[in-house]
Structure 1
Amino acid sequence: MILPLIRLGARSWAPVSRTLDHLQPMAALLARAYVAEGFFLSGLTKVRDWDTTLALFTEEYHVPVLPPAAAALMGTAGELVLPILLLLGLGGRFAALGLSVINVVAVISLPDMAPAALQQHVTWGVLLATLAVFGPQAWSLDHQWVSPRLRASSPNPTDP
């Protein structure tokens, strides 16, 4: 008695599931754009006033292991380069993982972070983890340009 109802329910959800599957590339692109904007703008702010950036890394941000100048340089470079890669979906998983490291270091390095700022970092972290696990999806250079070239250049094990 229950099994026919389950089958009926599964069939009625099939069109919804197909529609959601088609929305995945757009959702991934929106997530990539949202995260990329936040990190890129932060990197631009650091570049615009490098003296203040160095002062912040020296006095306020307590980045573990790295000297303040190296942390400032590496963090700023990451905030400028990785968001572009993420947005384009070129090395999308690499960019998502790199930005995840920057995100975690930012949270660890600033112990007195405002709750709203912490929530923003949590949101970025969830989106970056999702992009790292599922990849940048179909609307990305990885999918449109890199993957076809890799498939074309790899030997086919079924060829004689």
Structure 2
Amino acid sequence: MAKLIKKATRLVSGKFPEAIALLFARVALAGIFWRSARTKVEDGSLLTMKDLTVDLFRDEYGMPFPEITGLIATYAEHFFPILLILGLATRFGAAGLLVMTLVIQFFVYPDAWWSVHIIWVALALVLITRGGGLFSIDKLLGGKLG
């Protein structure tokens, strides 16, 4: 039985299974923020921020300078997920989303740690510590960016 467990552990601990896991982590974290980003822009536009976004940042989130913070968040929620999907500067993209998550946690939705944010933090930390994996542009570049 111990030999079987050891063999199964070796099978799922290789470079290919890790690459699949890191790809899924990149897509999962990117998808969360990309979907949020797309709710902040006008339908049919790439980055034209909705007026409603400024209202959201001012009234619901209580952020200072909602025109600026809304724009920065909207652009970041588009930019960092693209990096993650491509596996380009993966650690940088994941770190950016980690910072955004922590801002959301501490300043916007402090009661959402156990329900949501701990998962986002875990995904970001895995990507920061392990990088984009085998299926990433970072890997093609020899790990110079990610």
Where on the TM-score scale, by shorter chain, does this alignment land: which range?
Answer: 0.7 to 0.9
- Matching of residues 10-159 of structure 1 within 5 Å: 13-14=6-7, 16-21=9-14, 22-48=16-42, 50-63=50-63, 66-111=64-109, 113=111, 115=112, 119-144=115-140, 146-147=141-142
Q: CA deviation at 1:118?
A: 5.5
1:158 alignment partner in structure 2: none
Q: What displacement does 1:57 show?
A: 0.7
Question: Cα distance, 1:87 vs. partner?
Answer: 1.1
CA distance in 1, matches of 2:82, 2:114: 23
Q: 1:112 and 1:90 mapped to 2: Cα distance?
A: 31
Which ranges in structure 2 are unaligned for 5 or more consecutive residues? 43-48
Residues 118 and 44 from structure 1, CA distance in 2 versus in 1: closer, same or farther, beyond 3 angstroms?
Answer: farther
> If the length of structure 1 is used for normalisation, what is the TM-score?
0.75
Q: How far did 1:20 drift? A: 2.1
Which position in structure 1 is the counterpart of 2:46? none
In the TM superposition, residue 15 of structure 1 has moved relative to its aligned partner by: 5.4
Cα gap change, 1:59 to 1:12, in 2 (>3 Å) = closer
Note closer, same or farther for the CA distance 1:12–1:33 as it changes in structure 2 (3 Å cut): closer
The percentage of aligned residue pairs carrying the same residue is: 30
Deviation readout 1:100-153 (Å, 9 max, x if unpaired): 11111112222465x5x8622221111101100111111100002x217x5xxx
Distance 1:87 1:53, change over 3 A: same
CA contact (8 A) 1:107 1:118 kept: no
Say what the alpha-carbon RMSD is for the aligned residues: 2.4
Q: Give the gaps of 5 or more residues in structure 1.
A: 1-8, 151-160
Across the two proteins, how many residue pairs are aligned to each other? 137
